[in-house]
Structure 1
Amino acid sequence: MAALSTAPMPVWRRLLRSGTVRTLGPFVPVVVLWWLLAAFEVFPRSFFAGPTAVLTTLGGLLEKGILPGYLSDSLTRLAYGVGFGLLIGLPLGFAVAMIGRLRRFCWPILLFFQAIADIAWLPIVIVWFGFSLTAVTFVIVYTIVFPLMLSVVAGVEQVPRELVRAARSLGAGRWRVFVEVIVPGSLPSVAGGIRTGLGYGWRALVAAEIIVGTSGIGYMMFDARRVGDISQVFLGMVVLGSLWYALDALILAPFERATVERWGMVRRLEADG
């Protein structure tokens, strides 16, 4: 038995446990299917670009500096929208969650505007702000704020009331209870809301750039469609998907996982006590 336990792990199993394989492996059959559809011309080439054509387009846009410029514009707009969205959504979310009268007044309004898609605002936003950074930022902020506020309210509701009562019985004031109990306890839901809101904001950015923007990845895709360069449209989708996957895997998912694990530790300690 000892000899069996010390036997070397098979190569295929080591590969399956590799982070690179687990990250990129699921995309291999997708790329193979994509390549086969293009190679056998299941769809006309004018309507469907294969991986080879997309890579050629990528090299050309990188060499000309077009793609880095568009990408920089998109990320700048996203940063503005996310920054303002968090600055607005987090304080308002906690205020609505903590103040009963404010919640009763605002809750129907939150549900109403949550149901209105961001793209529905684009016609009036163009009238208000024109084809500007402000118009795109407004759409992203609108898309992020409402799901974030709803997540904050849900997170505050999930905080066990016995923890709040225990803190107050030990002499903690309202502010200390909020900072040391409410905020940490609601962080898992808040982290999920941030992750979801940024996903919505990312899609809103692309929609706004297609209709409002004069640069950016969304604009590149729309302009390519206008001139009939379908490979740029496919390239834009690949870039958007890759960037969001990297952002989610490197920042958002670890942040959400860390907050959930931290709260889980608190709950387990509470149960043990």
Structure 2
Amino acid sequence: MRDGSRWSRLVTHRAVRTFGPFLPLLLAWWVVAETELFPPAFFVGPVTVLAEFGDLIKKGILPAYLSDSLTRLASGVLFGLLIGVPAGFLVALSRRVRKLVWPLLLFFQAVADIAWLPIVIVWFGFSLTAVTVVIVYTVVFPLVISIVAGVEQLPRDLPRAARSLGAGRFGVFLDVVLPGALPALATGVRTGLGYGWRALIAAEIIVGTSGIGFMMFDARRGAEVTGVFVGMITLGVLWFALDALILAPFERGTVQRWGMVRTAEVGR
């Protein structure tokens, strides 16, 4: 019983649950590389990639490119939030506005961000503005749609009850609509950031002169597969850290604040 209890505690430990699934993948990667199932020019192992990580950090290349990518992401996401959050609540709360713009939202949501790159390059050239525009476009639409969905899920009795107690329009919005839509808003931010991160890498590959996407594309041009692996792993680790340290706590905080923590934790 004691051994079973220890094993149960070990399996359910947060670190084991977080990093455990990566161990079989890492082992399989190492085995495939060591057996040279693919030529080393096309497939390298974790030891080689780790050495390249250290080399790029030592030379200052990886930190500089990573800083550039994060700066572009932060700029694009900031403008995306400043546009998407007010637009989302405007569409959700105004029937006239929704009837007018909803078909446009669905249309542009279906147009991939990378499809805008050619014309954005014509408009803004190979600049930070071009990358920012693509990220903003990618963030805004899922954010708006998520906010609309969150407002629609509010029980109709809540705004009515608030108005019966003397709350005005702004009071209903501040005390009922906004808190009720926060979980959906958090989901929209999380989704928009994920799309924005992918859009950033695509933009850096095509129009960038620095950044993780540019580093991967530059390594591909030089037939250096190791650099591509470094970029891919950097992207995955960075997003994992961003989600775990910022996005997931924000989502949990909104759920816990408004009394739905049990529902949210059922699937965890």
Q: Residue 180 of structure 1 corresponds to which residue in structure 2?
A: 175
Which one of 19, 34, 42 corresponds to residue 39 of structure 1?
A: 34
Post-superposition CA distance 1:201-221 (Å, at most 9, x none): 000000000001000000000
Which one of 155, 160, 178 corresponds to residue 160 of structure 1?
A: 155
Counting matched residue pairs gives 263
> Whole-Å Cα distance in 1 between the matches of residues 97 and 210 of structure 2?
40
Which one of 197, 221, 224 corresponds to residue 226 of structure 1?
A: 221
Which one of 235, 238, 243 corresponds to residue 240 of structure 1?
A: 235
| One-letter identity of the residue aligned with 2:24 | P
Post-superposition CA distance 1:223-244 (Å, at most 9, x none): 0000011000001000000000
Structure 1 stretches lacking a partner, 5+ long? 269-273
Structure 2 stretches lacking a partner, 5+ long? 264-268
Does residue 71 (structure 1) correspond to residue 77 (structure 2)? The answer is no
Q: Residue 48 of structure 1 corresponds to which residue in structure 2?
A: 43
> Whole-Å Cα distance in 2 between the matches of residues 214 and 246 of structure 1?
25
> Whole-Å Cα distance in 1 between the matches of residues 40 and 158 of structure 2?
63
* CA displacement at 1:111 relative to structure 2: 0.4
Which one of 87, 94, 100 corresponds to residue 92 of structure 1?
A: 87
> Whole-Å Cα distance in 2 between the matches of residues 232 and 202 of structure 1?
19
Does residue 22 (structure 1) correspond to residue 20 (structure 2)? The answer is no
Identical amino acids, percent of aligned pairs: 68
* CA displacement at 1:13 relative to structure 2: 2.9
* CA displacement at 1:12 relative to structure 2: 2.8
Q: Residue 256 of structure 1 corresponds to which residue in structure 2?
A: 251
Give me the TM-score of the superposition, normalised by structure 1: 0.92
> Whole-Å Cα distance in 1 between the matches of residues 67 and 52 of structure 2?
18
Q: Residue 119 of structure 1 corresponds to which residue in structure 2?
A: 114
> Whole-Å Cα distance in 2 between the matches of residues 265 and 18 of structure 1?
24
| One-letter identity of the residue aligned with 2:236 | G
> Whole-Å Cα distance in 2 between the matches of residues 258 and 26 of structure 1?
26
Does residue 196 (structure 1) correspond to residue 191 (structure 2)? The answer is yes
SS of 1:48's partner is coil
Q: Residue 271 of structure 1 corresponds to which residue in structure 2?
A: none
* CA displacement at 1:41 relative to structure 2: 1.1
* CA displacement at 1:267 relative to structure 2: 11
> Whole-Å Cα distance in 2 between the matches of residues 201 and 267 of structure 1?
30
> Whole-Å Cα distance in 1 between the matches of residues 167 and 111 of structure 2?
41
Post-superposition CA distance 1:95-150 (Å, at most 9, x none): 11111111110001100100000000000011111111101000000000000000
Say which is worse superposed, 7-16 or 135-144, in terms of deviation.
7-16
Q: State the superposition RMSD in angstroms.
A: 1.7
Does residue 12 (structure 1) correspond to residue 7 (structure 2)? The answer is yes
> Whole-Å Cα distance in 2 between the matches of residues 11 and 93 of structure 1?
49
* CA displacement at 1:11 relative to structure 2: 3.6
Larger radius of gyration: 1
Q: Residue 266 of structure 2 corresponds to which residue in structure 1?
A: none
Does residue 104 (structure 1) correspond to residue 114 (structure 2)? The answer is no
> Whole-Å Cα distance in 2 between the matches of residues 138 and 267 of structure 1?
39
SS of 2:258's partner is helix
Q: Residue 77 of structure 2 corresponds to which residue in structure 1?
A: 82
